[in-house]
């Protein structure tokens, strides 16, 4: 006998769970459409080389679902959307009107050990503005992110957005004469709050002297002349000015500029940001994004871009943590009982002569076939809802 | 350099194409929700055995995308939804309240030669009523199918539904003493209109005598005592009576009872039906469904059911053939030009002091960054739409 369990690390969306998923997707869409984004999608199957070429990345390595099709093509299930986005933009470069404001909610696959917040099959909202210089579009994507939270009814007590800028950090490192140690500083800042202060110090001490280490620590605390210098550099970065000015004026959002947001060693070239659930039980980043200017280089083309990704699993945890699910979604299935489907009602209206009589008497009725009052629970429920009569078809 | 083409037999849904797909899916959903159905979904990855066990079926054979994951589990991308539906119903048998009215729009995969109307990756709407005896639910699923067509604005000149009943055909074959030849008769009727009359005769002549062959031909023409006998048997089949009576009264639908709808040799046990595009260029069935009572047998359980499937590719061809796409979907992308996204507008309102002045003067304005009137086509389009001024952020 076959097992009826789903494949490990994947989910069966029974109707109630599906209603929740639909609510999340629909609300993401609604918020992004208001912000001028349009939806795209692609096949989940891609040429495996699209991921393998980015050597050293685990997404293209041990986590990749790849295999050969019956024509011996080496194919893969997409582990993320960005390489695919690059492919389809490159493929119609001449026909598209830039900047593109595009979003998608791709189903993605990663072979990893299933755990809280991580599955083998998940959905990841991606939204990107493509083909536009740094500046206004970076602010726009931050605002679009905030509008997503607002569309779900989330308030500033529930989430926080933290942003940084790679150019500011680079310039600060340079101004403090640590250019040659940039890689180490990036790596340590990227994990700053995951380790203890002593552990961070120890890591930095492999290349930095004591003064330099103290400078870094002051910077992460946003204190002293180190932080003043960082802010001064930030205010002299033209593409960041509008962002700093605007975010300061947002009363209803907790948004912070901080040198500790790095987002790995990957392709980001300017703004980087993440959002966090303020509930300490859910401390993974809820979304991450930033400016990446070499999106299309795999295909020998260029389009400067800024984009964000967020996963459905973490997002659902956030909504559950803060009780942000609308009540009518949770109860929807229960309300269906005793509600006769349109198609059946149509049939019934044609086939029964009892209705005019019942209506004259002011009685409430429902339709059903194969209905046995004595053993059917539904009759009790219908009575509770004020139903007087069942019309059997 | 990597190719930027999609994998063979799959589609990239650029925004305009995605808007069309969304329109189809949303309209399917709307129609089915009105008919009391609720949505479910699952992972696209299943245990490969789920398909391989049905030996002899090409879906579980040469058309199956199957491979081993990194833990050496033999897995497959679903080629159809019905085995998965059986799995998830079997898995929660005790918790579910029957009958279920469930629908899903799964992404499915079949390794075949891509051609008109057939792709390697496609979507297939499935809707089923599960756990209910033959009769009312069969009619309900026919009505739900009609309501889908109506929801798209299709009229009786554009599509046709043809239904048959396996029990009626079985009884008619028996009444004419051809029980032992049933398999051949089913196989020939299943392809009746795909071959010439002579070809059909030749096939039948391997087992049937001349009188029997003439009886079959008369039956397919719905003529003579053969057809009268068929109708008489139909009217004595209790679970078909309500269907025959109701469908006769539908003035706005072209629906026909005919012995030539068979739907293969597969698992159907009662009602079978298909719908057709009346445009002769699109002569494949648009949907097919029927009563199948052994859905859960793979899992050692039982739930009598009736269900339908229809593919997105054929459906889109139908809408295109009859020009049933709403105009605002096709033009949606073009209308976006000059429409400033909400998120940017919010920023702009905070950051510019020019707006009150322009409004006093009754002028229309738009926002943008990196905007150069001299070379940008957008300015011309905006002017055409009555825009007086661009506010640069």
B260 DSSP assignment = T
Chain A contacts of B88, Cβ < 8 Å? 4, 6, 12, 14
Of A7, A42, A107, the CB nearest to B13: A42
Chain B contacts of A34, Cβ < 8 Å? 341-343
Chain A CB within 8 Å of residue B102 CB: yes
Chain B contacts of A15, Cβ < 8 Å? 38-40, 102
Output b/e per residue, A205-229; b: 16+ Cβ within 10 A.
eeebeeebbebbbebbebeeebbeb
Nearest-by-CA chain A residue for B348: A246
Using alpha carbons, list the distances in angstroms from residue A255 to A115, A121, A248, B123, B384: 29, 31, 8, 41, 39
> pLDDT grade, residue B337 (50/70/90)?
very low
* Cβ-contact A113, B347 below 8 angstroms: no
Q: Do B91 and A12 touch (CB under 8 A)?
A: yes
Strands B38-39 and A389-392: unpaired
Percent with pLDDT over 90 in chain B = 64
* Cβ-contact A11, A119 below 8 angstroms: yes
H helix count then E strand count, chain A: 15, 14
| Greater model confidence, A296 or B188 | B188
Of A15, A36, A242, the CB nearest to B40: A15
How far apart are the C-alpha atoms of A56 and A79, rounded to whole Å? 15
Tokens of A386: 């004020």
Using alpha carbons, list the distances in angstroms from residue B307 to A66, A254, B117, B242, B357: 34, 50, 22, 18, 63
Instruction: Return the pLDDT at B310.
Output: 96
Of B49, B67, B245, the CB nearest to A2: B49
> pLDDT grade, residue A354 (50/70/90)?
low
At B193-217, the pLDDT tens digits run 899 999 999 999 999 999 999 999 9
Which of A281-295, B17-31, B161-175, B336-350 shows the lowest mean pLDDT across its residues?
A: B336-350
Of A2, A298, A341, the CB nearest to B35: A341
Best interface-test mutation with B: which of A4, A63, A100, A381 has the largest number of B CBs within 10 A? A4
Strands B271-277 and B65-68: unpaired
- Determine the average pLDDT of the residues in B349-367: 66
Residue the block writes with tokens 């055909």: B169
Q: Render B43-105 in DSSP notation, one character per residue.
A: -SEEETHHHHTSTT-GGGTTT-EEEE-TT--EEEE-S-SHHHHHHHHHHTTTT--SSEEEEE-
Q: Which distant-in-sequence residues (6+ apart) come within 8 Å of B228 by Cβ?
A: none
> pLDDT grade, residue B264 (50/70/90)?
confident
Residue A220: how many CA atoms within 13 Å on its side-chain side? 20
> pLDDT grade, residue B335 (50/70/90)?
very low
Instruction: Return the pLDDT at B336.
Output: 42
Instruction: Return the pLDDT at A196.
Output: 96
Of A1, A12, A143, the CB nearest to B88: A12
Output b/e per residue, A109-126; b: 16+ Cβ within 10 A.
bbbeeeeeeebbbbbbbb
pLDDT over 50 (residue A335): no
Could you give the 3-state DSSP secondary structure of residue A389?
strand
Angle formed at CA B356 by CA B351 and CA B357, multiple of 5 degrees: 110
Q: Do A341 and B140 touch (CB under 8 A)?
A: yes
Positive or negative: CA dihedral A169, A173, A179, A185? negative
Nearest-by-CA chain A residue for B29: A22
Q: What is the ipTM of this complex?
A: 0.88
Chain A contacts of B144, Cβ < 8 Å? 341, 343
A/B interface, count of CB pairs below 8 Å:
239
Nearest-by-CA chain B residue for A76: B7
How far apart are the C-alpha atoms of B366 and B227, rounded to whole Å? 70
Could you give the 3-state DSSP secondary structure of residue B186?
helix
Chain A CB within 8 Å of residue B330 CB: no
> pLDDT grade, residue A336 (50/70/90)?
very low
Instruction: Return the pLDDT at A73.
Output: 95
B5 DSSP assignment = S
H helix count then E strand count, chain B: 15, 14
Strands B38-39 and B100-104: parallel
- Determine the average pLDDT of the residues in A242-248: 89
Q: Do B12 and A88 touch (CB under 8 A)?
A: yes
How far apart are the C-alpha atoms of A226 and A217, rounded to whole Å? 9
The answer for A 123-162 residues in CB contact with B (under 8 A) is 132-133, 135-137, 139-140, 143-144, 146-147
At B82-107, the pLDDT tens digits run 999 999 999 999 888 888 999 999 99
Which of A241-250, A344-353, B136-145 shows the lowest mean pLDDT across its residues?
A: A344-353
B365 to chain A, minimum CA–CA distance in Å? 17
pLDDT over 60 (residue A55): no
At A122-150, the pLDDT tens digits run 999 999 999 888 888 899 899 999 999 99
Q: Do A36 and B6 touch (CB under 8 A)?
A: no
Instruction: Return the pLDDT at B209.
Output: 96
Three-state secondary structure along A277-342? ECCCCCCCEEEEEEEECCCCHHHCCCCCEEEEEEEHHHHHHHHHHCCCCCHHHHHHHHHCCCCCCH
Question: Which one, of B303, B329, B297, B307, lies nearest residue B316 by Cα?
Answer: B329
Exposure of A351 by Cβ count < 10 A (0-12 exposed, 13-18 middle, 19+ buried)?
middle
Q: Which distant-in-sequence residues (6+ apart) come within 8 Å of A317 by Cβ?
A: A117, A277, A282
Instruction: Return the pLDDT at B288.
Output: 95
Strands A159-165 and A74-77: unpaired
Nearest-by-CA chain A residue for B61: A70
Exposure of A65 by Cβ count < 10 A (0-12 exposed, 13-18 middle, 19+ buried)?
buried
pLDDT over 90 (residue A34): no
Could you give the 3-state DSSP secondary structure of residue A105?
coil
* Cβ-contact B228, B235 below 8 angstroms: no
Residue the block writes with tokens 């062959």: B213
Strands B65-68 and B255-257: unpaired
> Which contacts of A116-120 are long-range, i.e. CB under 8 A and separated by 24 or more positions?
A117/A282, A117/A284, A117/A311, A117/A313, A117/A314, A117/A317, A118/A313, A119/A9, A119/A10, A119/A11, A119/A313, A120/A7, A120/A8, A120/A9, A120/A10, A120/B45
Phi-psi region of B263 (alpha: psi -120 to 50; beta: other; left: phi over 0): left
pLDDT over 90 (residue A347): no
Instruction: Return the pLDDT at B16.
Output: 87
Could you give the 3-state DSSP secondary structure of residue B261?
coil
Using alpha carbons, list the distances in angstroms from residue A13 to A27, A122, A369, B131, B318: 18, 12, 29, 19, 30
Q: Do A18 and B5 touch (CB under 8 A)?
A: no
Q: Which distant-in-sequence residues (6+ apart) come within 8 Å of B57 by Cβ?
A: B51
Instruction: Return the pLDDT at A341.
Output: 52
Instruction: Return the pLDDT at A337.
Output: 38
Instruction: Return the pLDDT at A249.
Output: 86
Question: Which one, of A189, A163, A181, A213, lies nearest residue A264 by Cα?
Answer: A189
- Arithmetic mean of pLDDT over chain A: 87
Percent with pLDDT over 70 in chain A = 86
Residue the block writes with tokens 């979904």: B41
Instruction: Return the pLDDT at A367.
Output: 63
Residue A355: how many CA atoms within 13 Å on its side-chain side? 12
* Cβ-contact B367, B391 below 8 angstroms: yes
Nearest-by-CA chain B residue for A140: B344
Query: If you count them, how many residues does chain B have?
Result: 393
> pLDDT grade, residue B374 (50/70/90)?
low
Angle formed at CA A216 by CA A272 and CA A183, multiple of 5 degrees: 60
Chain A contacts of B43, Cβ < 8 Å? 6-7, 10-12, 121
How far apart are the C-alpha atoms of B106 and B35, rounded to whole Å? 19
> pLDDT grade, residue A338 (50/70/90)?
very low
Chain B CB within 8 Å of residue A331 CB: no
- Determine the average pLDDT of the residues in A73-79: 96
Strands A365-368 and A389-392: parallel
Question: Could you tell me how far CA B336 lies from the centroid of its own chain?
Answer: 31
Q: Do A43 and B7 touch (CB under 8 A)?
A: yes
Instruction: Return the pLDDT at B114.
Output: 86
Using alpha carbons, list the distances in angstroms from residue A330 to A13, A140, A314, A318, A334: 14, 33, 19, 16, 8
Tokens of A8: 């490990």
- Determine the average pLDDT of the residues in A319-347: 65
> pLDDT grade, residue A369 (50/70/90)?
low
Q: Do B341 and A109 touch (CB under 8 A)?
A: no
Question: Which one, of A283, A284, A282, lies nearest residue A321 by Cα?
Answer: A282
> pLDDT grade, residue A351 (50/70/90)?
low
- Determine the average pLDDT of the residues in A288-317: 92
A299 to chain B, minimum CA–CA distance in Å? 6
A209 to chain B, minimum CA–CA distance in Å? 43
Tokens of A10: 């994947």
Q: Do B351 and A47 touch (CB under 8 A)?
A: no
> pLDDT grade, residue A382 (50/70/90)?
confident
Q: Do A69 and B111 touch (CB under 8 A)?
A: yes
Could you give the 3-state DSSP secondary structure of residue A55?
coil
| Greater model confidence, A37 or A347 | A37
Chain B CB within 8 Å of residue A344 CB: yes
Instruction: Return the pLDDT at A277.
Output: 95
φ, ψ dihedrals at B39, nearest 5°:
-90, 145
Using alpha carbons, list the distances in angstroms from residue A178 to A56, A173, A271: 26, 5, 21
The answer for A 52-91 residues in CB contact with B (under 8 A) is 53, 62, 65, 67-70, 73, 75, 87-88, 90-91
* Cβ-contact B308, B127 below 8 angstroms: yes
N-to-C CA span, chain B: 38
- Determine the average pLDDT of the residues in B289-318: 92
* Cβ-contact B341, B170 below 8 angstroms: no
| Greater model confidence, A183 or A368 | A183
pLDDT over 50 (residue B109): yes
> pLDDT grade, residue B69 (50/70/90)?
very high
Question: Which one, of A14, A24, A8, lies nearest residue A313 by Cα?
Answer: A24
* Cβ-contact A392, A371 below 8 angstroms: yes
């Amino acid at each position: 006998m076959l097992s009826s369990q789903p494949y490990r690390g994947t989910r069966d969306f029974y109707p109630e769970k599906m209603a929740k998923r639909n609510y999340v997707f629909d609300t993401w869409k609604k918020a992004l459409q208001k912000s001028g984004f349009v939806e795209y999608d692609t096949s989940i199957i891609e040429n495996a080389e699209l991921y393998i070429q980015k050597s050293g990345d685990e997404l293209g390595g041990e986590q990749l679902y790849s295999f050969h099709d019956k024509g011996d093509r080496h194919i893969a299930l997409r582990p993320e959307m960005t390489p695919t986005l690059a492919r389809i933009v490159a493929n119609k470069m001449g026909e598209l009107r830039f900047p593109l404001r595009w979003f998608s909610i791709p189903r993605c696959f990663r072979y990893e050990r299933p755990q809280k917040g991580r599955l083998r099959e998940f959905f990841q909202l991606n939204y990107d503005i493509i083909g536009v210089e740094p500046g206004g579009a970076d602010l726009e994507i931050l605002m679009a992110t905030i509008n997503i939270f607002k569309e779900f009814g989330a308030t500033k007590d529930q989430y926080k957005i933290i942003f940084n800028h790679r150019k500011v950090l680079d310039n600060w490192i340079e101004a403090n004469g640590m250019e040659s140690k940039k890689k180490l500083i990036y790596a340590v800042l990227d994990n700053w709050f995951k380790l203890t202060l002593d552990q961070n110090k120890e890591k930095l001490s492999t290349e930095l002297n004591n003064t330099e280490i103290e400078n870094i620590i002051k910077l992460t605390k946003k204190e002293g002349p180190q932080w003043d210098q960082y802010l001064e550099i930030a205010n002299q970065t033209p593409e960041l000015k509008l962002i700093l000015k605007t975010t300061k004026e947002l009363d209803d959002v907790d948004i912070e500029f901080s040198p500790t947001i790095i987002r790995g060693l990957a392709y980001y070239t300017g703004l980087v940001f993440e959002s966090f659930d303020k509930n300490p039980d859910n401390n993974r980043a809820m979304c991450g994004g930033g400016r990446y200017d070499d999106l299309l280089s795999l295909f020998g083309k260029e389009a400067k871009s800024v984009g964000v990704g967020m996963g459905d699993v973490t997002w659902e945890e956030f909504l559950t943590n803060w009780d942000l699910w609308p009540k009518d979604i949770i109860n929807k299935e229960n309300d269906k009982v005793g509600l006769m489907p349109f198609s059946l009602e149509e049939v019934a209206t044609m086939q029964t002569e009892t209705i005019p009589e019942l209506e004259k008497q002011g009685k409430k009725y429902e339709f059903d076939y194969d209905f046995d009052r004595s053993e059917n629970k539904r009759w009790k429920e219908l009575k509770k809802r004020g139903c007087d009569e069942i019309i059997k078809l």
